[in-house]
């Protein structure tokens, strides 16, 4: 169905592009414009009435109506009337009026009667960017079974969706939406959203497509990769064989071995060149060291702000920080970004552009250590391919506990024992400087105590220009590191066994999980203490019982709701009105299968 120019303008004002989206604007209420022969107290009703008298008081108008459908008189009352209301009630005129009927000791009145011209139906009332009557006319003129089916919705869903817009007595009587209508609303919301994601996806010819292998490389490793690591590598291998440039996100839990997936991808690309961008010099250094250890056959180079400028065209694998964006880069068939959320969209796109060849694009892989709910991963596949690594090469032994002020003595004993065993401790504070708004000590307030009572205490935070050097010095010589969440992602600290998070209830569960993931990286016994002034926290109690980052992500959904996946806004509220990502995984799968037949996902 083609919209008129006027209808297109109304769609634009509502911020929608489809009839499916229009159907999701449900009426806020209904007005029953059907005449009834019986008066119903405490109910909004339509009357067919003749105005017998009008009395104007200082703040009200009282009208005497003879109601033909009831066969007797009632009083109409308007409080604080607007000037235009005066002209609606002329003595002797017979009109239809609508308002709330109330009865007291033998007399009945209608509160705030308004003149009605369109009668005989239950009329939806909308609260949108359009005036309610304009919205009603738009819905009646364009929304029907044919257009919704044409956009791809199943018939059963369409039938339910139309019910609120074209109401019957059943809709009027039900105070809550039926389960079948809720299902239809969820289905449509997901359908619209995943279509929007799919339309955002663009396909480009790959600079290089090839049938790659990695079996010879696997034999050189001194350990065995996990099944999920191998699955992710196989996904990438299949991507490389396609004519279309890959766009894949590999999401792995803390310590799941994403580095080996990165190295496998670089190995498969070999002489066609791979470029990897990491968010910090420390991370870039660590990845470079791993590449030298496990990819000796590849000519690898590290590029940071401190690197000398060299001709990069002689290298197979270029690893660097954002300094890569300011170098002349040779064409590369593969671009990878580690901890992709630490870079802006513009930075990631620029790196891709720098190594593109005309209309051809490199295969693009992005890696994230922030697990997302499986349901969200299914939705994201409409926009980008997703591989999940949910297991770790070895099981971490980390004890997590919620602690309070009275546990501080025991905590000190534990910290001293760990330091005696040459292990390291991380203490995370919520702020660098003192703040009256927060009831916890800041780094500035707390550091004196730790520096006085312990040796080799290091301090850093997000605004510290030397933070990377401090972390390196701590890794070599430190006992205690005092920091903000700057250490959430990044440096490997092999001797770190304990993390204490002060004011833990202020952080999201995923951030807590990232911080906990800093300890026990090499199989040592680990400890995570969540320090809080709250007597009881359901969130924190749930967290200490859960070790999987993907389960944590689901908990985060339940406690905080999801952010807007498409537009990157509403981080603590949900962009879905009806869908619950923590509960509706089966429905997501169902919608995905339906869309797959209509759009290339």
Provide the residue ranges of all domains of the chain, joining segments of one domain with +: 5-31+121-176, 34-116, 240-389, 398-546
**Model confidence over 300-340: pLDDT tens digits?**
999 998 888 888 999 999 999 999 988 889 999 999 998 76
- Please compute the mean of the pLDDT values over residues 409-433 and round it to a whole number: 94
**Model confidence over 516-548: pLDDT tens digits?**
988 887 778 999 999 999 989 898 999 999 888
Q: φ and ψ at 302, to 5 degrees?
A: -110, 130
Angle subtended at Cα 411 by Cα 559 and Cα 483, rounded to the nearest 5 degrees? 65
Q: How many residues are given for the chain? A: 601
Mind spelling out the 3-state secondary structure of 283-308? HHHHHHHHHHHHCCCCCEEEECCCCC
The C-alpha atoms of residue 309 and residue 320 are separated, in whole angstroms, by 12
**Least confident among 24-33, 376-385, 579-588:** 376-385
Rounded to 10 degrees, what is the CA torsion of 46, 47, 52, 57? -20
The C-alpha atoms of residue 156 and residue 471 are separated, in whole angstroms, by 59
The C-alpha atoms of residue 57 and residue 276 are separated, in whole angstroms, by 79
- For 12, the token pair is 């634009």
SS3 state of residue 553: helix
pLDDT band at 358 (very low <50, low <70, confident <90, very high): confident
Query: Which residues touch 3 (CB under 8 Å, ≥6 apart)?
Result: 11, 142
- Name the nearest CA neighbour of 514 among 297, 267, 255, 136: 255
Q: What is the pLDDT, as a whole number, of residue 300?
A: 96
Q: 265: buried, middle or exposed (CB in 10 Å: 19+, 13-18, 0-12)?
A: buried
Q: Of the spans 113-117, 233-237, 347-351, 569-573, which averages the highest pLDDT?
A: 233-237
Sign of CA dihedral 475, 480, 482, 486: positive
Residue ranges in 163-271 assigned as alpha helix (H): 169-173, 179-200, 215-218, 227-240, 258-269
- Name the nearest CA neighbour of 196 among 345, 1, 20: 20
Task: Determine contact, residues 148/158, Cβ cutoff 8 Å.
Answer: yes
Whether 34-116 shares its CATH topology with 398-546 is answered no
Residue ranges in 302-359 assigned as alpha helix (H): 345-354
Sign of CA dihedral 208, 213, 214, 220: negative
CATH classification (class only), 34-116 = mainly beta
**Model confidence over 452-477: pLDDT tens digits?**
999 999 999 877 888 888 888 999 99
Query: Which residues touch 271 (CB under 8 Å, ≥6 apart)?
Result: 316
Query: Which residues touch 565 (CB under 8 Å, ≥6 apart)?
Result: 193, 197, 376, 379, 380, 575
Within 13 Å and on the Cβ side, how many CA atoms surround 446? 23
- Please compute the mean of the pLDDT values over residues 352-368 and round it to a whole number: 86
Within 13 Å and on the Cβ side, how many CA atoms surround 417? 11
The C-alpha atoms of residue 514 and residue 485 are separated, in whole angstroms, by 9
Q: φ and ψ at 87, to 5 degrees?
A: -85, 0
pLDDT band at 369 (very low <50, low <70, confident <90, very high): confident
What's the fold here for domain 398-546?
Rossmann fold (3.40.50)
- For 113, the token pair is 């009667």
Mind spelling out the 3-state secondary structure of 389-402? ECCCCCCCCEEEEE
Q: 248: buried, middle or exposed (CB in 10 Å: 19+, 13-18, 0-12)?
A: buried
Higher-confidence residue of 450 and 601: namely 450
Q: φ and ψ at 24, to 5 degrees?
A: -80, -10
> Is CATH 3.40.50.300 the right assignment for the domain spanning 240-389?
yes
Q: What is the pLDDT, as a whole number, of residue 372?
A: 72
- Name the nearest CA neighbour of 452 among 412, 422, 484, 418: 412
């Amino acid at each position: 169905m083609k919209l008129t120019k006027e209808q297109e303008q109304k769609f634009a004002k509502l911020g929608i592009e489809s009839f499916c989206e229009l159907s999701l604007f449900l009426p806020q209420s209904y007005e029953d414009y059907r005449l009834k022969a019986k008066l119903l107290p405490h109910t909004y009703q339509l009357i067919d009435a003749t105005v017998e008298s009008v009395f104007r008081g200082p703040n009200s108008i009282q009208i005497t109506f003879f109601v033909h459908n009831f066969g007797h008189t009632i009083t109409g009352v308007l409080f604080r009337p607007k000037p235009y209301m005066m002209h609606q009630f002329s003595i002797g005129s017979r009109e239809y009026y609508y308002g709330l009927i109330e009865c007291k000791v033998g007399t009945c009145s209608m509160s705030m009667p308004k003149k009605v011209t369109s009668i005989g139906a239950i009329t939806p009332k909308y609260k949108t960017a359009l005036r309610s009557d304009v919205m009603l006319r738009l819905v009646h003129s364009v929304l029907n079974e044919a257009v919704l089916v044409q956009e791809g919705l199943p018939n059963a869903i369409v039938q339910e969706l139309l019910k609120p817009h074209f109401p019957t007595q059943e809709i009027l009587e039900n105070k809550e939406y039926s389960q079948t209508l809720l299902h239809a609303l969820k289905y449509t919301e997901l359908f619209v959203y995943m279509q929007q994601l799919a339309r955002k996806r663009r396909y480009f010819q790959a600079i290089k497509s090839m049938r790659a292998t990695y079996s010879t490389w696997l034999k050189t490793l001194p350990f065995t990769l996990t099944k999920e690591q191998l699955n992710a590598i196989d996904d990438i291998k299949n991507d490389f064989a396609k004519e279309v440039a890959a766009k894949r996100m590999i999401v792995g839990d803390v310590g799941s071995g994403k580095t080996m997936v990165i190295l496998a991808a670089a190995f498969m690309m070999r002489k066609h060149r791979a470029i990897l961008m990491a968010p910090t010099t420390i991370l870039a250094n660590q990845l470079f060291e791993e590449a030298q250890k496990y990819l000796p056959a590849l000519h690898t180079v590290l590029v940071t702000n401190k690197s000398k400028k060299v001709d990069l065209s002689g290298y197979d694998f270029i690893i660097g920080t954002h300094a890569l964006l300011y170098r002349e880069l040779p064409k590369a068939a593969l671009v990878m970004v580690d901890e992709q959320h630490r870079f802006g969209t513009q930075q990631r796109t620029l790196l891709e552009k720098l190594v593109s060849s005309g209309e051809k694009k490199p295969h693009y892989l992005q890696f994230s250590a922030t697990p997302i709910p499986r349901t969200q991963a299914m939705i994201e596949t409409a926009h980008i391919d997703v591989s999940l690594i949910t297991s770790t090469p070895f099981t971490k032994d980390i004890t997590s506990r919620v602690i309070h002020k009275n546990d501080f003595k025991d905590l000190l004993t534990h910290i001293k024992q760990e330091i005696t065993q040459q292990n390291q401790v991380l203490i995370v504070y919520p702020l660098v400087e003192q703040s009256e708004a927060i009831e916890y000590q800041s780094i500035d307030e707390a550091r004196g105590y730790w520096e006085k009572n312990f040796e080799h205490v290091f301090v850093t935070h997000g605004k510290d220009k030397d933070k990377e050097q401090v972390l390196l010095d701590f890794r070599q010589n430190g006992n205690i590191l005092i920091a903000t969440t700057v250490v959430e992602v990044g440096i490997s600290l092999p001797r770190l066994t304990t993390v204490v998070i002060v004011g833990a209830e202020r952080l999201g569960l995923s951030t807590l999980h990232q911080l906990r993931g800093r300890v026990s990286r090499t199989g040592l016994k680990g400890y995570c203490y969540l320090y809080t002034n709250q007597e009881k926290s359901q969130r924190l109690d749930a967290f200490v019982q859960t070790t999987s980052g993907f389960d944590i992500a689901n908990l985060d959904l339940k406690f905080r709701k999801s952010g807007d996946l498409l537009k990157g806004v509403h981080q603590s509220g949900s962009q879905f009105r009806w869908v619950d990502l923590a509960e509706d995984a089966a429905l997501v799968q169902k919608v995905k299968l339906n869309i797959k037949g209509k759009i290339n996902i």
